Structure 1
Amino acid sequence: MDGSIARPRPLLALLVRLLAAFALATMGMLVKLAGERGAHLIELIFWRQLLTMVLLGAGLALTGRLAMLRTQRLPAHARRAASGLLGMIFTYGAVLLLPLAEATTLGFTAPIFAVVIAIVLFREKIGPYRWAAVAMGFAGVIVVMQPFGGLEQGVTVAGIAVGLVAPFMVALISFQIQDLNTTETPWSIVFWFAALTAPAAALALPFVTTAHDPLTWVLILGMGLVGAAAQVLLTTSLRFGSAAVILLMDYTALLWASFYGYAIFDRAAPASLWFGAPLIIAAGLLIAWRERQLAKARIATAKRIASAASQE
């Protein structure tokens, strides 16, 4: 866990991201189980963040790398923490309000919202490829949720709204993380997010915490540990491979969510999900492909300019 740039290892990146997708789906399942047993959403967030902070801090301390957590950008970390806390509230809320498969599928719309945010906030010009991806993605949402033809069992309008705000926040936060990545290590970004949000969630604990039986505590702590592992796996995957390549592995979370939904919550994913999810996934992949093409074009242009300047 050092701050240096790791050597690209595509196959390892894919494997690690595959494990991350499994961990995130498992965390969602544990969140839903704990919530059904009376654990409050804020309580779940507190334990997730506290365990991440403690485990990451201890790991860096034991390896003599606490210096990696030094930062000159605490205000930027605080802004990211505020957005991240709000994002976690909606992400966990979607899992609690919707069936796992539907909540997971809506989460895949984050790249689509990223394009919308780029248009609205950054006045970025969007070409036909990304416009097509936006249209395809939201068509997939309509197919999955069937808002005009009667909602599937367990799906509510409130759940859909929360489930769409969650990926919007994820997309918004991605721009903050991109900015932090220019000066901070991935471990610093993860640690300060947990360190700043755990105390904030703790302030609300006296108002939401209730007594739990041992099994519920096992679920809560398991959720926190799996969530911390998922965060580390996500960060590690980006050290060994490009986001555009490893994005494919994220979509395997839908398979795990569907399995958990059937095996643990006795609810099979509806046919509409298997028709709509491919549209949302295809939209995300199209955006990732187009972003990669644009990045290559920018690099080629920069090299031509540098070459021309050196010859003057």
Structure 2
Amino acid sequence: MTSLAPSVPLSKPAVGIAFILAGVTAISVNDMLIKELSGGYPLHQMVFVRSVIGLMFTLVFVQLEGGWAILKTNRPGLHVLRGLLIVIANMSFFTALAVVPLAEATALFFVAPLMITLLSIPILGEKVGPFRLGAVGIGFLGVLLMLKPWESDLGIEGGRVVLLLPVIGAAAYSLTQVLTRKLGSTSKASALATYLQTTFLVVSVGFFLVAGDGRYAENFDNPSMVFLLREWIWPVGSDLFLFLGLGLCAGVVGYAMSQAYRIADAATIAPFEYVGLPLAVFWGWLMFGELPGPVVWAGIGLIVGGGCVVFLREHQKQKKLALAAKIGRR
């Protein structure tokens, strides 16, 4: 006999946490590999390899979620904008990795959840109370602390401008996530991922056609700009396996993060993304001999603290809404 009971959303917090931890681990390995390869290969080449392999994974999920028909959309402009924003987010962050310590760049990028909270007010019309706004302020104080405005020499090639790149990337990522909320109601996760990977492919091929011979890199001494515009080079020796690792990480991230947010409540699992910070510290120490100083540790603490408070308040808000809905059905 066929059950006529209405379907309910999946709720597997433990499994969701496992998936998000896998995804965050893959992200940290991806960032470490990009920093490791940044001294000899161009960023657009790495993006191309990641996108090709990631797209192959994504298209498998497209077939599982409904086939080619789910790629049709009546809002192509928003999808293009979302794709360009995530490209800006990634390229800004990865460009900074050429000179900024891994843990420091990662911590600055983690200001994104705080920016999402602010952007949700004008764009999504969400109400954010003084408690969450105070937490956002604490997080931004951590960013200011890490930028060290009292020091004229930060010891980073490119100075404070390069240190701001992860923050710019976080801002673009925040806009991307806000647009995802708007588009997610009409588009499958695999379709959204396909649009993004395709955008990365188009942009990386465009970089190759315009600057793939490295002629523009010769005009710069800054390692970040050279990393962005360096000549395309075929991977040699063990570097080929590192490139394959980038593609594998892209596939794992795409699947694990989508699966995590599909089967568990976002407010429950999102704080576990902050596991990426100790992982960045670990990879920075193991691979590059980098350890954050006291000021950076203080900034990291403020950013993480502000973000966790925002997530906690969001979780409490959702519990109250769920309780009100349950009472209303009685």
How large is the RMSD of aligned CA atoms in angstroms? Answer: 2.6
**Alpha-carbon distance in 1 for matches of 2:195, 2:233:** 29
Counterpart residue number, 2:260: 237
**Alpha-carbon distance in 1 for matches of 2:123, 2:71:** 30
Unaligned regions of 5+ residues in structure 2, if any? 1-6, 213-230
Higher mean alpha-carbon deviation, 158-167 vs 207-216, is at: 207-216
Aligned length: 302
> Contact 2:51–2:247 (CA<8 Å) still a contact in 1?
yes
Matched AA of 2:201: A
Any idea what the Cα deviations from partners look like across 1:226-266, whole Å, max 9, x if unmatched?
12211211111112211111122211111111111111111
Unaligned regions of 5+ residues in structure 1, if any? 308-312
Verify: 1:109 aligned to 2:111, yes or no. Answer: yes
> Contact 2:112–2:174 (CA<8 Å) still a contact in 1?
yes
**Alpha-carbon distance in 2 for matches of 1:217, 1:158:** 32
In the TM superposition, residue 190 of structure 1 has moved relative to its aligned partner by 0.7
- Match among 294, 298, 303 for residue 280 of structure 1: 303
> Contact 1:99–1:154 (CA<8 Å) still a contact in 2?
no
In the TM superposition, residue 297 of structure 1 has moved relative to its aligned partner by 4.3
> Contact 1:42–1:201 (CA<8 Å) still a contact in 2?
yes
Counterpart residue number, 2:25: 22
Q: 1:11 to 1:92 in 2, by over 3 A?
A: same
> Contact 1:261–1:269 (CA<8 Å) still a contact in 2?
no
Matched AA of 1:70: L
SS at match of 1:190: helix
| 1:94-173 alignment runs, 5 A limit | 94-121=96-123, 124-149=126-151, 153-154=155-156, 156-173=159-176
In the TM superposition, residue 24 of structure 1 has moved relative to its aligned partner by 0.6
SS at match of 1:36: coil
Matched AA of 1:66: G
SS at match of 1:264: helix
Counterpart residue number, 2:285: 262
> Contact 2:65–2:188 (CA<8 Å) still a contact in 1?
no
Higher mean alpha-carbon deviation, 288-297 vs 238-247, is at: 288-297
Higher mean alpha-carbon deviation, 284-293 vs 233-242, is at: 284-293
TM-score, length-scaled by structure 2: 0.82
Percent identity of paired positions between Structure 1 and Structure 2: 22
Higher mean alpha-carbon deviation, 21-30 vs 71-80, is at: 71-80
Q: 1:121 to 1:10 in 2, by over 3 A?
A: closer
Any idea what the Cα deviations from partners look like across 1:166-200, whole Å, max 9, x if unmatched?
11111111111111210111111111211233123
**Alpha-carbon distance in 2 for matches of 1:184, 1:121:** 19
**Alpha-carbon distance in 1 for matches of 2:87, 2:294:** 33
Q: 1:288 to 1:127 in 2, by over 3 A?
A: same
SS at match of 1:98: coil
**Alpha-carbon distance in 1 for matches of 2:172, 2:142:** 19
TM-score, length-scaled by structure 1: 0.86
